[in-house]
Amino acid sequence: MKTLLIALLVYMAGFQNSFASYPELFGASFSTSGIGNQANLNANDPSNNYYSPSLLGFSDKFNVLAQSSSTAPHFKSINSVVVTNNTNSTSETYGKVNTTYTKFYGGALHIGLPVGGARHLGTLGLSVFLPLGDLVRTNSGDPFLPEYVMYRSRFQRTSVYLNFAKKWSEDLAWSVGTLLGFQATAEVRTNLSLNGASYGSWARAQSKVSPSIGFITSVTKIFDDSTVYFAYQQEMKSNLKASVYGEITNPSLALLDSTMSSLIFYDPHTFRIGGTTRFSDLEFFGALEYQMWSGYKSPIVDVKKNGGVIVPSTNYEKIVTRDTINPRLGLKLNLTDRWSTLLGVQYRMTPLKGDFSGSGNSVDVNTIVGTTGFQYRMVVWSKDVHIGTAFQYHQLESKRVTKTTGQENGSAGNKLGAPGYDLGGYILTANLGIKFNF
C-alpha cells in the first residue's frame, strides 16, 4: 500500500490548486489595495485590468506594474473539542484543531500594451498573480475538523487574466477577455508484491490537464469630474478527477478501484459596478460587487468506490451557500504633486449560510477590511515612475459555534467539534510595488 499512497499523493499534490484568486480577497496591486480593493480608474494603471479592463482602452502608453505581497492569517484557537468519533475512528477523543495557517508570499505583474501604433487600435491587458517560488501551493485541509475554507490556501495559486480594451469614443470604452483555469484528470495503477515474492512492486501513471476559460467583459464611461464602470466575470470551476487502481498479485487481491474527485478552485460569477469623483486634490471611490456562489462545493476530496475492498468516503457535510454583496469605499489624497495617501474600507459577506452547528467542517464569517497606503511619483528620463505600498487589516466577525447532539451518522454521541468553539481572528497583508509609464 505504501507505493500506492505515495503515487496518489504525488498526483493529488501535482494538480490541486486553491479555490479563488489573490486579488479577490486582497486587491490587485498596491494602488488598488489601499483604497479598499477596487479600481482606481487611472487609465495608465494596468492593475485595473482585473477590476475594469475597459479603462485601459483610454491609454496609449505602455504601462507596467510589478509588486510583491505578504499575507499572515491569525485565527482564534480551537481547543478541547471532539476530534475523533465513530465517523472517523473507533473511539471518541478530544483535542486541538490546527488554526495556524502558513504565511503567504506572492507577486503580481500587470501589463497594458497598446496595439496599432499611432492608430491605437486598442490595448491588451495582462495580469498574473502567483506564489513566490512556486507555481501553486495546495492544502485541502482536514476532512473532518473545522476549516476556514476561504483562507486555507484558496489564494495561493497562479491566476491569469487577459483582456482586450478599445476606446469607442473619447469618453466610452469597452473590453472583452478571459480568465484561465484547467481541468485535470489522472490515473494511477499499482501492483504490489509482498515480502517473499520473487519480483518487486510496480506502478504506472498517466495524466491530462486541459485548459478552461471564463468570459470577462466591461464598459467604462468618463464624465467631466467622474468616471463609472461596469464589469462581469464568468464563473470558473477547475476540477480534479483521479482514477486509482491497486492490487496484490501474490496472494491475488484487488485492494483499490476508486475515483477521487475535488473542486480544486472556484471563482464565482461576479458583477462589479463602481466609480470615482474628483474634488481638487481629493478623489473618492466607491464600488459594489455581487457574487453568485450557487456552484461552490467544499474542497474535500470525495472517494468513490468502483471495486476492491477499500471503503468509500462518507461526507456528511451539506453546504448551503448564498449570493453575496460586497461594498467598498476609498479615498486618495494628493498631499503634494509627488506624494499621495490612500484609505479604504470593505465589507465582505461570507457565502456560507448557517450557524455551523450540524455536520461538516467548512466555516467562514463576515469580514470588515480596513486599508491604507502611500504612493510616491518621480520622473526618470522624462517617464513617470510610481513607487507605492499598501497595508490591510481584515477583522473577522466573532461567532460562537455550538454543535447539536448526536454524531454525524445519526448514532448517539458527540459531533466532531463538540461541544463548540469560537470563530474569528484577523488577517494582515502588505504590498510593495512599482509602476512604470512609457
Q: What are the pLDDT digits (tens) for 195-247?
A: 666 677 778 888 877 778 899 999 999 999 999 999 999 998 877 788 887 77
Q: Name the maximum alpha-carbon separation found in the chain.
A: 85
* Range from 140-154, 266-280, 354-368 carrying the lowest mean pLDDT: 140-154
Q: Mean of the per-residue pLDDT values for the chain?
A: 87
For CA atoms 160, 351, 275, 370, give the dihedral sign: negative
Report, as an integer, the average pLDDT of 406-413: 93
139 — pLDDT class (breaks 50, 70, 90): low
Residue 339 has a pLDDT of 96
pLDDT value, residue 361: 87
Neighbouring CB atoms inside 10 A of 370's CB total: 14
**pLDDT of res. 69:** 95
381 burial type by CB count under 10 A (0-12 exposed, 13-18 middle, 19+ buried)? exposed
2-437 has CATH 3.60.21.10 classification: no
Residue 17 in grid coordinates:
490548486
Residue 205 and residue 188: Cα distance in Å, rounded? 4
DSSP one-letter code for 87: T
Q: How far is CA 249 from CA 8, 199, 202, 260, in A?
A: 19, 10, 11, 23
**What is the average per-residue pLDDT within 103-124?**
91
Using DSSP's 3-state secondary structure scheme, residue 163 falls into strand
CA separation for the pair 125, 23 (Å, rounded): 16
Strand partners, 130: 107
End-to-end Cα, the chain, rounded Å: 59
DSSP class of 144: S
Q: Is the pLDDT of residue 422 over 90?
A: yes
Q: How far apart (Å, rounded) are the C-alpha atoms in residues 358 and 125?
A: 45
Residue 191 has pLDDT above 60, yes or no: yes
DSSP-assigned letter for residue 412: S
Task: Output the pLDDT for position 421.
Answer: 97
DSSP 118: G
Residue 390 has pLDDT above 80, yes or no: yes
Q: Residue 143 has what pLDDT?
A: 84
Range 142-155 burial, b when 16+ CB lie within 10 A, else e: bbbbbbbbbbbbbb
Summary count for the chain: helices (H), strands (E): 4, 21
> HEC string of 229-283?
EEEEECCEEEEEEEEEEEEECCCCEEEEEEEEEEEEEEECEEEEEEEEEEECCEE
Q: What is the mean pLDDT of residues 132-139?
A: 66
| pLDDT at site 178 | 95
18 pLDDT exceeds 60?
no
Rg of the chain (C-alpha set): 25
Sketch the domain layout of the chain as residue ranges: 2-437
Please write the tens of the pLDDT for every residue from 21-69. 788 899 999 999 999 999 999 999 999 999 999 999 999 999 999 999 9
Residue 155 binned pLDDT confidence (cut-offs 50, 70, 90):
low
Q: Is the pTM of this model over 0.85?
A: yes
Q: Which residues have a Cβ under 8 Å from the Cβ of 368 and sit 6 or more positions away?
A: 345, 346, 347, 348, 394, 395, 397
Q: Among all chains, which residue has been given the C-alpha cell 492490487?
A: 247
Residues 6+ apart with CB under 8 A from 205: 7, 11, 186, 187, 188, 189
Specify the DSSP element, H or E, that contains 2. Answer: helix 2-15
Q: What is the 3-state composition of the chain as percent helix, strand, coil, each rounded to the nearest 5?
A: 10, 55, 35
Q: Half-sphere exposure (CA, 13 Å, Cβ side) for 51? A: 36
Residues 253, 276: Cα–Cα separation, whole Å: 68
Gap between the Cα atoms of 421 and 438, Å rounded: 54
Share of the chain above pLDDT 70, in %: 91
12 has a pLDDT exceeding 50: no
